[in-house]
Amino acid sequence: MRIILHIWRQRNATDQGRMTRYEVPNVSEHMSFLEMLDVLNEDLIAKNEEPVAFDHDCREGICGMCGCMVNGVAHGPLPGTTLCQLHMRHFKDGDELYLEPWRARAFPVVKDLVVDRTAFDRLIAAGGFISVSTGSAPDGNAMLVPKEKSELSMDAAACIGCGACVAMCPNASASLFMAAKIAHLALLPQGQPERERRVKAMVGQAGQELFGSCTNIGECEAVCPKEIKLEVIARMNRDFLKASWTGREE
Amino acid sequence: MSALAISPLHRAARFWEAPIGKKAVMAITGLILFGYVIGHLLGNLQIYSADHQQINRYAAFLHNPANAIPLWVIRTALLAAVILHIVSAVQLWLQNRAARPLGYKKKADVPTSYAARTMRWSGVIVGAFIVFHILHLTVGSVLPVHEIAANEPDVRYNVITGFQNPLVAGFYILAMILLCMHLYHGLWSMFQSMGFSHPRYTPLLKKGAALVAILIAVGNISIPIAVLTGFLTL
Amino acid sequence: MQLDSKCPTGPIETRWERHQFNLKLVNPANKRKHTIIVVGSGLAGGAGAATLAELGYNVKCFCFQDSPRRAHSIAAQGGINAAKNYHNDGDSVFRLFYDTVKGGDFRARESNVYRLAQISLNIIDQCVGQGVPFAREYSGYLDNRSFGGAQVSRTFYARGQTGQQLLLGAYQALEKQIGRGQVTMFPRTEMLDLIVIDGRARGIVTRNLITGKIESHLADAVVLGTGGYGNVYYLSTNAKGCNATAIWRAHKRGALFANPCFTQIHPTCIPVSGEYQSKLTLMSESLRNDGRVWVPLKKGDKRPPGQIPAAERDYFLERKYPSFGNLVPRDVASRNAKQVCDEGRGVGETGLAVYLDFAESIERLGASVIKERYGNLFDMYERITGEDPYKVPMRIFPAIHYTMGGLWVDYNLMSNVPGLYVTGEANFSDHGANRLGASALMQGLADGYFVLPNTINDYLASTKLEKADTSHAAVKEAEANVNSITQKLLATKGTRSVDSYHRELGKIMWEYCGMARTAEGLKTALSQIPGLREQFWRDVKVLGTGEELNQSLEKAGRVADFLELAELLCLDALERNESCGGHFREEYQTPEGEAQRDDENYSYAAAWEFRGVGLRPELHKEPLTFEYVHPAQRSYK
């Protein structure tokens, strides 16, 4: 099939950027979306045009490196799927696709479809961890975790940090990302000692990174490739409210 | 020895600074305003009473100088709630708008989120309507307010004559539809903001919120419709 | 060159403890005077960087991805082994040690493997402490499952995302140290050369992938946790960015490269669908717990699987290996799949696939149990192939997955270049000729959390390092080397893209140095690779400049290194006239078609010394001795 692409081209962080039209003939339905872009890039190189820069790595939906907006939807039309796992059989001959990078003040564009997501790392550095010095942990079975809690925790821990939630959110909020980590750790007994510090520190950091805030719209949940639920944001809100009013430490 | 190193005032200020704190303020003030909307609806529906003076007696009760103190306490609380609700909303809106300086050329939306995405517009229009509504029926600067006696407004007359004007009735109906959307999102979202969400109850909550919002809108909208269709006459 | 493995002697149970006691320590106040460079942020690199920082060292950590959380350890699905014996099924440290040495076909050091088995216990505790949501039973206790190459259930897992969860644990520990300022993180930064001053590894030259800036970083020791070289085959289960540049350039600076021909093929991958294929997707071999592998009995049987009656199916693994059945080790499962496809009994459009069938398990356990165990894998399979594995059997085929070979290291994980440590998949140490499932995560974390932070002290405490700064001649020379490579790649302005060369190299490697190798095939590969490399340098086309994000340039540098490494890999495979583990030479097999080792002549680690591009490297042999597990033909029958 033939696919028409309108791709955001931007040389570097300071360049203005613009949409450019390309055509990819002979797209196989078995190709992944990124393989279709590979084919485009090989064509561009053959024509001495610079290939489109896009982030990708594992191509099996787990590293969280890839992703762009496809016709205004983060990671494209298939729910619960990263861009690398999206296959061309979900498109049809002659489709016109608009590819744009994640857009948020906290995610500046580096080049073309590549953005800088280091703000996510700083959110984790602010408190998204359990402090346990190597070697100091007790036996793995010393602390029991009810299966239901463990499963819920795993649901939240499945986040791959791709940034689709921020990209899709009308407010460019990182709430789903942040809340997934907070919920993952707060659901486990190991996460209790630092629970209040963690939520306060991470929420504070999100403000400094200039992410927007959650207004309970739910677009993040709709595009999350790991189908993380809005419920985690409620958990974060609850923990934050509690920590704000009852916490003693400063 | 751990101590409360922070004063309650300082704590409140920091709470207000955090977006989640502001959303909690919006949830609580929203709940207060929702209570008022219910009360107001119950008052309005008295217009259907066979006893035409029923609603006027209710108005006279509210306006009775003996009840002035509770009335103004409530009015002040409502005003404070409105101000906090709006100020939080505006501040969050500005912050959130700044979080994405350059928008998408093409952006799709999740269909179910329509009410949520339009909260600020439904809010602004409902807010404008409230101002108009007070000017119309309380202050009387749109149409003269008829009084049976001092502090005894002729509500039935004012409402019916007001709604006989199709523009007034139309604006009222539009505002109520937007209020319905605003309430639908606000009612379930309030729980989310305050930290309650559960896969079993949240879907029920959303349905309940829709039902309540629609009932409120239907109850209120029925009045101008009844006037325009001639079901309610002087 | 004399290779000193520094392995302790005496009773194996106490070797590590005694060795640790003999290592010198750095007192806490002095730790902050040392800087350590860690390249790579996966399980080995990330865990190492976090732990070293926790101990008080200043750490500079580098990764080419945009965040340390993206390292390819994240893609490991199945689980991590530990000899906890929580299930009272006869497991022990000794059994894990035994299984690993045997699984590695007797080409690993006993001392290293025993230490690995001992540390496996601490790893689970550490990860649980960090909040890794391992699968639990209803009682709240940790759950285990069984895995290929073992008859006990010792594999801990977090759904099909064990690698992800373990990596996030290490990443979070690392981020904490970054937040404290103890680690300086350099994402989107690639190591392009090793700086060796007075014979010691003292730093690295890097390229900032966004600005193109070439920079030198100096330190007291350099740790490479940069993963394996499976992408030399182009199509592999590795991430697209996985590369051998760090270890290869260290090799060119003197570090020995050991056992490059020990590459592992993973039996359960989704088959290739076309020329544009950019990578292969692995599905956890835990699938083999409940899936049955079969092909039609008849050649060229093109009927849909559902129409082939049981009597006309060949469940070849169950038939040939009754006691392990579908759970034979990876190399055995892969080779058998290739064999039946070579016989013309492969399935699917290309004939390069075998069925992995869950019909019976679904009938026995119910679809919901299967969904709970493998739901995400089934979803992934359906997303990629468009077929529903609950209804039709999966089609699977082996693919390059892991490389047991890597830079030679001693028991302390130090290479022959003093001050250069190599951890995880990047080194050659613990898996011998074949790695057992769920052992890569174990090794990466053992090296990163527990071994390296203990052994590196000894070097730092016992070595007097001269002060050096970036004006040193060795630094300038390394920078000049990096700049000249970049300039050359950009200036060639040829006709073919980098990928086209990589693809071509991959085809040569898979054809002649893949699942089964022959002397003749390897010689063919060795005659083709230099020509391809020469053509690459004459005709590669890299557009753009070096002063910006230039993904073609990044790839070009990596492919240039693969073109050299490929030659060494084939040479090593040719030199090793035996079959063992992942290295299967068709000339050396038992009458039943099993791998035939030659312990008399090849019971050694082959460590190669670089002599120049295109020149024959020098082979150094580290003899292997077995005191506890006596070499025997591996049998899984």
For residue A79, give the CATH number of its domain: 3.10.20.30
Query: pLDDT tens digit string along C39-94?
Result: 999 999 999 999 999 999 999 999 999 999 999 999 998 899 999 999 999 999 99
Q: Are residues A150 and A235 in the same domain?
A: yes
User: Residue C70 and residue A125: Cβ atoms within 8 Å?
Assistant: no
Given A110, A127, A162, which residue is the final one in a domain?
Answer: A110
Task: Using a CB–CB cutoff of 8 Å, tell me whether C569 touches chain A.
Answer: no
**Contact map slice: A 110-169 vs B, CB within 8 A:** none
A136 and A237 co-located in one domain: yes
The interface residues of chain A toward chain B in range 15-54, judged by CB-CB distance below 8 A, are 19
* Two tokens, residue C295: 């092909």
Same domain, residue pair A99 and A142: no
For the residues of A193-250, what is the DSSP string, one character each?
A: TTHHHHHHHHHHHHHHTT-B---S--HHHHH-TT---THHHHHHHHHHHHHHHH----
Q: Both A218 and A199 in a single domain?
A: yes
Whether residues A103 and A121 fall in one domain? no
The dihedrals phi and psi of A145, each to the nearest 5 degrees, come to -125, 115
Phi, psi dihedral angles at A246 (to 5 degrees): -110, -15
Chain CA centroid to CA C526, Å: 23
Give the containing element (helix H, strand E) for C313: strand C313-314
Q: Would the ipTM clear 0.90, i.e. be above it?
A: yes
For residue B107, tell me if it sits in a domain.
yes
Per DSSP (E only), the strands in C411-508 are: 420-422, 496-497
Chain B meets chain A (3+ C-beta pairs below 8 A): yes
Domains belonging to chain C, first-starting first, are 31-264+402-462 (3.50.50.60), 267-399 (3.90.700.10), 473-623 (1.20.58.100)
Same domain, A56 and A138: no
Higher-confidence position of C534 and B115? C534
Among A49, A84, A110, identify where a domain stops. Answer: A110
Interatomic CA distance for residues A97 and A192, integer angstroms: 46
pLDDT at B6 over 70: no
Does the distance separating the beta carbons of B99 and A210 come in below 8 Å? yes
Q: With an 8 Å Cβ cutoff, are A144 and C548 in contact?
A: no
A and C interact (at least 3 Cβ pairs within 8 A): yes
Residue C519 backbone phi and psi in degrees, to 5: -60, -40
Let me know: does A66 contact A93? Beta carbons within 8 Å.
no
Phi and psi torsions of C355, nearest 5° = -85, 145
What single DSSP character describes residue B171? Answer: H
With an 8 Å CB cutoff and a minimum of 3 pairs, decide whether chains B and C touch: no
Instruction: Point out the residue among A217, A218, A249 whose CB comes nearest to the CB of B2.
Output: A249
pLDDT over 50 at B133, yes or no: yes
Residue A87 shares a structural domain with residue A175: no
Tell me the residue range of the domain where A224 lies.
117-246
Alpha carbons within 13 angstroms on the beta-carbon side of residue A72 total: 10
DSSP H or E segment with residue B98: helix B68-98
User: Do both A139 and A28 map to the same domain?
Assistant: no
- The sign of the CA dihedral B92, B95, B100, B106 is positive
Q: Which domain holds residue B169?
A: 3-228
Cβ contacts of B105 on chain A, cutoff 8 Å: 6, 8, 19, 98, 100
Co-location of A236 and A133 in the same domain: yes
Per-residue tokens: A86: 């999206």
With CB atoms and an 8 Å threshold, state whether C240 touches A58. Answer: yes
Residue B120 inside a domain? The answer is yes
Q: Is B51 inside any structural domain? A: yes
**Are A122 and A99 found together in one domain?**
no
Question: Which residues in chain C are closer than 8 Å to A122, comparing Cβ atoms?
Answer: 179
Interchain pair A129, C185: CB under 8 A: no
pLDDT score of B177 more than 80: yes
Count of structural domains within chain B: 1
Angle, CA C186 vertex, CA C556 and CA C251 arms, to 5°: 50
- In the three-class reduction of DSSP (H, G, I as helix; E, B as strand; rest coil), residue C236 is classed as coil
Q: How far apart are CA C145 and CA C138, in angstroms?
A: 15
8 A C-beta contact, residue A32 and residue A123: no
Of the candidates A214, A70, C493, C396, which has an alpha carbon nearest to the alpha carbon of residue B92? Answer: A214
What pTM does this model have?
0.95
CATH number of the domain to which B26 belongs: 1.20.1300
Does A182 share its domain with A209? yes
Pick C637 or A88 by higher pLDDT: A88
Number of H helices, E strands in chain B: 9, 2
Chain A contact present for C140, CB below 8 A: yes
Per DSSP, the three-state class of B148 is strand
Question: Tokens for B220?
Answer: 């209120």
Question: Three-class SS of residue C255?
Answer: coil
CA A158 – CA A166 distance, rounded (Å): 17
Burial class, B1, CB count within 10 angstroms (exposed 0-12 / middle 13-18 / buried 19+): exposed
Residue B199's pLDDT is: 94
Question: Residue B1's pLDDT band (boundaries 50, 70, 90)?
Answer: very low
Return the pLDDT at B2. 46
- The answer to whether residue B157 is domain-embedded is yes
> Which residue positions in chain C have pLDDT lower than 70?
149
Cα C163 from Cα C77, distance rounded (Å): 6
The terminus-to-terminus CA distance of chain C in angstroms comes to 41
Sign of the dihedral through C-alpha C91, C94, C97, C101? negative
User: Which of A29, A86, A88 is CA-nearest to residue A60?
Assistant: A86
Contact present, C446 and C41 (Cβ < 8 Å): no
A44 and A99 in a single domain? The answer is yes
Q: From its phi and psi, is residue A135 left (phi > 0), alpha (psi between -120 and 50) or beta? A: left
With a CB cutoff of 8 Å and minimum separation 6, the contacts of C584 are C331, C335, C515, C516, C517, C595
- Domain-terminating residue out of A83, A110, A137: A110
| Cα-to-chain-centroid distance, residue A34 | 17
Q: Total structural domains in chain A?
A: 2
Query: How buried is residue C211: exposed, middle or buried, by Cβ count under 10 Å (0-12/13-18/19+)?
Result: middle
Rounded Cα distance between C124 and C119, Å, is 9
Which amino acids of C are annotated catalytic?
Answer: 330
Identify the band that residue A249 occupies on the pLDDT scale cut at 50, 70 and 90: low
- If pLDDT is split at 50, 70 and 90, which confidence band does B4 have? low
User: Across the interface, do B189 and A210 touch by the CB < 8 Å criterion?
Assistant: no
Instruction: For residue B230, give both structure tokens.
Output: 């001639």
SS (H, E, C) C253-316: CCCCEECCCCEEEEEEECCCCCCCCCCCCECCHHHHHCCEEEEECCCCCCCCHHHCCHHHEECH
Nearest CB to C133 within list A129, A136, A184: A184
Closest to C226 in 3D by CA, of C469, C67, C41: C41
Q: Which 3 state secondary structure label does DSSP give B149? A: strand
Q: Is residue B118 part of a domain?
A: yes
